[in-house]
Amino acid sequence: MDNKKFYITTAIAYASRKPHIGNTYDIVLADMIARYKRMEGYDVYFVTGSDEHGQKIEEYAKAEGITPKAFVDKAAEEIKRVWDSMDVTYDKFIRTTDDYHEKAVQKIFKKLYEQGDIYKGHYEGKYCVPCESFFTPSQLVDGKCPDCGREVIDSKEEAYFLKLSKYADQLVEYYESNPGLFQPDSRRHEMVNNFIKPGLADLCVSRSSFKWGVPVDFDDKHVIYVWIDALSNYITALGYDPDKKSDMYKKYWPADLHVIGKDIVRFHTIYWPIILMALGEELPKQVLGHPWVLFGEDKMSKSKGNVIYADELAQRFSVDAVRYYLLSEIPFAQDGNITYEAFIGKYNSDLANTLGNLVNRSIAMTNKYFGGTVAGKPLEGEFDIDLTETARKAIEDYHKAMLSYHNADAAEAIMTLAKRCNKYIDETAPWVLAKDEAQKERLEGVLYNLLECIRILSVILFPLIPSTSLKIREQLGISEEPAFDQLKYGLHDDYAVGEAKALFARIDTEAVLKEIAEEMEKAKAAAEAANVVKVAKIGIEDFAKVELTAAVITNAEPIKKAKKLLKLTLNDGSATPRTVASGIAPWYKPEDLIGKTVIVVSNLKPATLCGVESNGMILAADAGENDVRVIFLDDIPAGSKIR
């Protein structure tokens, strides 16, 4: 191979909070692939990074009382720290606030505008604030965001649009001429049936309602929409500029593989290819839309209290234990799950009992019976032949799985060989052979077979759990880096092993689960005591801007298709009744509210919620878990100002 290139990227992590273990799967999976490709002889360039613009970040920074740049500086550093803690071998970490990236994005936007692929108009439709995504009504699921399931809001503002429809036919042709583009292929059907067949609506690519983004340099009222900004990182990381292509770009583009979560496949297989088509650039070769890592059966969420962080898990169980669980337990096409019980079970079963025990006792027996040195002895017994055949088949199955990104199948192939080795020990009983001097040559051959299989395991383990692979090789007395040309059985004539050291100590499941539960209770109590929600400090001049008015509820009724909202009609002392949509339906019946006096924020900008224009917000208290109480005022006249 002439050092063929392989350019691999991950989705860049949103710089809003610490990435949880589901986010971490993305980078660990990409790292496994990158390591494997390097071992195949490819010139690999591996890019990851952080997505640092958008309305959410502007709001988070304001809540903390700091600038958005200060906020993302901290967040990006945390993302890098977590990635580094997972022994990830990326070549470049790009930030979308990097100066060279922002300048290139401005040039990309301007080029598309000048050639007519971007035009100015007005957007009116459904918008999901957490996902920073616009949707047509037909794309919503039960009236909610199809990606995160949250409520969407009606939004109307001046905006620039990308002509997706212009490239629809070219996009379909791209799909048809690249049958391996989608991994797994089921993602192709989702894109075609859910987005292309209904008709591609032009994409809103700028915002004017907030400022934290890459400015449109020829129209300073607008910032460039996060998806053009974020997606372009894959080429700006290589030094792309519309006016001049860098040597890095010429060498590595197009991307050989984008590794992303299944929830953003649409952006990478519809929006991103069309942006590249419009720019006249080559298109990515493959997009791997991996499944989610769920906590049990639920998506991880801080509000649910079910978030697990990879670095914290690694501090307790080791980095390779975390990597191995993620790569062996998450299927190719279906969501996987993690719980502490499942993690410990997998750790004990595969790492401690199967792999760790095999290496430990094989090295120990070599030291005990032969002073640490054995030579290769050809053995032709039934058990020997079956062992070597299992090794050959494991290598074949491993490569087949790795080349198609079926990492869990690759891990299974590895463990199949490790389990067969343990069975071989039971079948040959070296401790019995050691008692008979006439069986010494047979004993040496048995141990040699075991060490050869362990050496092969150290090679194929390297992309998944690199630290463990190197520890195994150290115990075998092998200093050279793992490489696939070392997978020939019988490659080593003899072994001079080192000291037997435990790779993975068995975990006392009951004791550790109890310890974790106690720690979680302490953390929860500490968070409640510290009032974990941080609120930005404001001055008296800010508070003076808020107008609080006493108002009597004259009517209350449910809002169709909104389980949490009630439509309240209020008498606030003015000539015209005030309508407010309030999310108190789970705690109050409409008939029980009529006649009650509440406090309303009466100078809040109107917002349309589920078709109802809401003019204000009533005040309520969060009195505990799932306990919301409206603040009622007795005997206060409607229209009274609250000071």
DSSP string, 537-585: ---HHHHTT--EEEEEEEEEEEETTEEEEEEEEEE-SSSS-EEEEES-T
Burial 103-119 (b: 16+ CB within 10 A, else e): ebbbbbbebbbeeebbe
CB-based contact 486:469 (threshold 8 Å)? no
* Model pLDDT for residues 542-551, shown as the tens digit of each residue: 677 788 999 9
**Does the pLDDT value for residue 282 go beyond 80?**
yes
DSSP string, 576-617: S-EEEEES-TTT--HHHHTT-EEEEETTSPPEEETTEEE--E
Q: Which two tokens stand for residue 140?
A: 């919503």
d(CA 18, CA 12): 13
Residue 262 has what DSSP assignment? G
Q: State the amino acid at position 295 in one-letter form.
A: F
State the virtual CA torsion across 412, 414, 415, 420 in degrees, nearest 10: 120
CB-based contact 623:614 (threshold 8 Å)? no
What the chain holds in terms of domains, given with CATH numbers, is 5-290 (3.40.50.620), 339-496 (1.10.730.10), 540-642 (2.40.50.140)
pLDDT top residue among 516 and 520: 516
* Model pLDDT for residues 550-572, shown as the tens digit of each residue: 999 999 998 876 778 899 999 89
CB-based contact 405:332 (threshold 8 Å)? yes
Average pLDDT over residues 618-634: 81
d(CA 13, CA 636): 50
* pLDDT score of 528: 63
Out of 135-139, 143-147, 287-291, the most confident range is: 287-291
pLDDT top residue among 382 and 282: 282
CB-based contact 330:410 (threshold 8 Å)? no
DSSP string, 271-312: IHHHHHHHHT-PPPS-EEEE--EEETTB---GGGT----HHH
CB-based contact 425:432 (threshold 8 Å)? no
d(CA 90, CA 27): 9
**Does the pLDDT value for residue 268 go beyond 70?**
yes
Alpha carbon 142 to chain centroid, angstroms: 25
**Does the pLDDT value for residue 192 go beyond 70?**
yes
d(CA 503, CA 27): 24
Choose the weakest-confidence range: 35-44, 118-127, 360-369, 431-440: 118-127
**Does the pLDDT value for residue 531 go beyond 70?**
no
Question: Mean pLDDT score of the chain, rounded to an integer?
Answer: 90
pLDDT band at residue 490 under the 50/70/90 scheme: confident
* pLDDT score of 278: 97
pLDDT band at residue 454 under the 50/70/90 scheme: very high
Three-state secondary structure readout of 380-394: CCHHHHHHHHHHHHH
**Does the pLDDT value for residue 302 go beyond 60?**
no
Among 565, 571, 533, 534, which residue's Cα sits nearest to residue 552?
571
* pLDDT score of 587: 87
Choose the weakest-confidence range: 14-23, 152-161, 220-229, 425-434: 152-161
d(CA 388, CA 452): 9
**Does the pLDDT value for residue 15 go beyond 80?**
yes
CA angle, residues 135, 139, 144, in degrees to nearest 5: 80
Among 162, 173, 314, which residue's Cα sits nearest to residue 231?
162
Choose the weakest-confidence range: 186-200, 453-467, 625-639: 625-639
d(CA 394, CA 578): 71
CA angle, residues 591, 596, 600, in degrees to nearest 5: 115
Q: How big is the chain by its Cα radius of gyration, in Å?
A: 30
CB-based contact 593:553 (threshold 8 Å)? yes
**Does the pLDDT value for residue 533 go beyond 80?**
no
φ, ψ of residue 141 in degrees (nearest 5):
-115, 115
* Model pLDDT for residues 351-402, shown as the tens digit of each residue: 999 999 999 999 999 999 999 999 987 788 889 999 999 999 999 999 999 9
Report the percent of the chain where pLDDT is more than 90. Answer: 66
Segment holding 514, helix H or strand E: helix 509-529
For the entire predicted model, the pTM comes to: 0.80
CB-based contact 625:576 (threshold 8 Å)? no
Residue 353 has what DSSP assignment? I
* pLDDT score of 226: 83
pLDDT band at residue 575 under the 50/70/90 scheme: confident
d(CA 430, CA 378): 16
CB-based contact 83:555 (threshold 8 Å)? no
Among 642, 618, 636, which residue's Cα sits nearest to residue 628?
618
Q: State the amino acid at position 613 in one-letter form.
A: E
* pLDDT score of 325: 97
d(CA 615, CA 604): 7
Say whether 173 sits in a helix, a strand or coil. helix
Relative orientation angle of helices 310-317 and 21-39, to the nearest 10 degrees? 70
* Model pLDDT for residues 19-62, shown as the tens digit of each residue: 999 899 999 999 999 999 999 999 999 999 999 999 889 999 99
Choose the weakest-confidence range: 10-24, 121-135, 458-472: 121-135
* pLDDT score of 305: 56
534, β-bridge pairs? none
* Model pLDDT for residues 58-96, shown as the tens digit of each residue: 999 998 999 999 999 999 999 999 999 999 999 999 999
Residue 253 has what DSSP assignment? P
Among 167, 379, 361, 149, which residue's Cα sits nearest to residue 273?
167
CB-based contact 571:554 (threshold 8 Å)? yes
* pLDDT score of 183: 93
Cβ neighbours around 333 below 10 Å, total: 14
